[in-house]
Amino acid sequence: MPSAGRLPALSLPLVLALTAALVSPLAHAADRTPSARSALPSFISELTERRYDGRSDDLLTAGLGFAGLRGPMPRAADPDRPTAAELRRQAVWASAGLSAGSGGGLGRLYGPDVDRGRPVSGDGKVAGVEYRAVAGSGAHSVSFVVQVPDGFDRARPCVVAAPATGLGGVYSMVGTAGAWGLHHRCAVAYTDKGMGPAFDDPHSGTVMGYDGTTGPRARLHGRTAFDAGLSDAERARFDAEHPYRVAYKMAHSGMNPQATWGRDVLRSIRLALAVLNRDWRAGAPGGGYTPASTTVLTTGVSNGGGAAVAAGEEDRGGLVDAVVASEPQLNLAPLNGVRVRQGGRVVPAAGLPLIRYNALASLLQPCAALTEPTAPGYATLDVPAARRRCAALVGDDPRRAGMPNGRVRTGCRASPRRPWCAPDSSPGRGISRSRTTTRRRPPPTR
């Protein structure tokens, strides 16, 4: 699963599938009444609207243009107190991924600066209106953003629903699916699926607002993206017993946002249709923007792909015309009556809970990373800590595996082929011969 800081651009097959889906709209459900068309959905608790002129700021590049997206991350004037606009600009910059270079064709064959395999002319800035909305509050909150470009095709209206990938924030798909939708004159609906970054610091009383800004709980009251739900007395007691702990929404909300991924994507679509109907303009369909008149695509990558699939499965009102998902992260139901074999062995389960995958990766990745010193990001690896992790998992030398009583013929010397060994190892040193290969110590606490 990709990280929130660097998100994969839409692959070429995914781009082609999106194009095919847009060209071939499917049948829709019946129209709604005019009064229902103009009202906001009842689940929306907060809605803000902002117009971007396409020069100083815009929908696709946050005012940076393609050149700015390829450059370093834009900095806040005051790094300790970034504004909502500065945080939005950084999120949009990260979603594009262009600063990582053109490896694999990004920025040349596909990406926010490419449309139908050809470079997009101009600086890439897209003027239009952006709506930001929230459903629920605190631990129950879900964030939405709808972007409507000035060039929105009102004769052939379309909406691209792009739920966030991974644990990313609501803007994490702007540079991928969002770029595709805006290039094709569609409105784009984003949601963080209730999993966006948010925290509560009991020690300082600092919390995060819906727009990413932080401040005292009292000042952001009613606009906090997450609250630990403790009274003042409980906070003081907890901070005294466990100082400098921080509660995070994903880990400590007590919610199961994955169970409502499909619902949240469908809600983002309903919100998009609602704001289109509120902003009535010449050329709009006579019956309004409804499932009958508007082509709707859902698309996503990893967790976002799983959310897009879930939306298609849960759609009972004819909202969704097509689902295009890349590497969707899905937890399937038990394989009742189905047997899966891989390499002659029966696969006992179709998948594990996401937390199990994260725990396994956290356990093994530091050790595995030592084997690829030329890999991107290796310079930031804590090599001594990674070597300690390897030693805790398999001992000083993994060649002991399968040897009687964990014995080895030689010691463990550090080399490019044995990066797990400590540099000062020599024959017979650093090896506990009393340990067996079946014993596993827990990884060291750092």
pLDDT in tens, 264-299: 999 999 999 999 998 877 788 888 999 999 999 999
* Per-residue confidence (pLDDT) for residue 426, from 0 to 100: 37
Q: What is the pLDDT of residues 388-424, one digit of tens each?
A: 888 888 765 544 444 444 444 444 555 555 554 545 4
User: Predicted confidence band at 38 (pLDDT cuts at 50, 70, 90)?
Assistant: low
DSSP state of 31: P
Closest to 178 in 3D by CA, of 58, 261, 13: 58
CA dihedral 339, 343, 345, 350 (to 10 degrees): -50
Buried b (16+ CB within 10 A) or exposed e, 184-198: bbbbbbbbbbbbbbb
DSSP state of 120: P
Q: Which of 67-76, 104-113, 196-205 has the lowest mean pLDDT?
A: 104-113
* Per-residue confidence (pLDDT) for residue 410, from 0 to 100: 41
Q: What is the pLDDT of residues 49-66, one digit of tens each?
A: 999 999 999 999 999 999
Q: Is 50 exceeded by the pLDDT of residue 204? A: yes
Query: Which of 302, 326, 362, 426 is labelled catalytic?
Result: 302
* C-alpha distance from residue 359 to each of 5, 254, 329, 381, 444 (Å): 20, 18, 16, 18, 14
User: Predicted confidence band at 14 (pLDDT cuts at 50, 70, 90)?
Assistant: low
* Per-residue confidence (pLDDT) for residue 117, from 0 to 100: 80
Q: Is 60 exceeded by the pLDDT of residue 156? A: yes
Q: What is the pLDDT of residues 339-377, one digit of tens each?
A: 878 888 888 776 677 778 888 888 888 888 888 888 777
Q: Are 181 and 162 within 8 A, CB to CB? A: yes
Higher pLDDT, 19 or 88: 88
* C-alpha distance from residue 130 to each of 17, 143, 146, 316 (Å): 26, 13, 6, 28
Active site residue 95: no
Q: Is 70 exceeded by the pLDDT of residue 137? A: yes
> Quick one: average pLDDT of 68-77?
93
* Per-residue confidence (pLDDT) for residue 188, from 0 to 100: 98
* Per-residue confidence (pLDDT) for residue 421, from 0 to 100: 53
Q: Is 50 exceeded by the pLDDT of residue 25? A: no
* Radius of gyration of the chain, Cα coordinates, nearest whole angstrom: 25
130 phi/psi in degrees, rounded to 5: -120, 130
Q: What is the pLDDT of residues 176-201, one digit of tens each?
A: 999 999 999 999 999 999 988 899 99
Q: The pTM is what?
A: 0.73
Distance CA 7, CA 89 (A): 16
* Per-residue confidence (pLDDT) for residue 201, from 0 to 100: 94
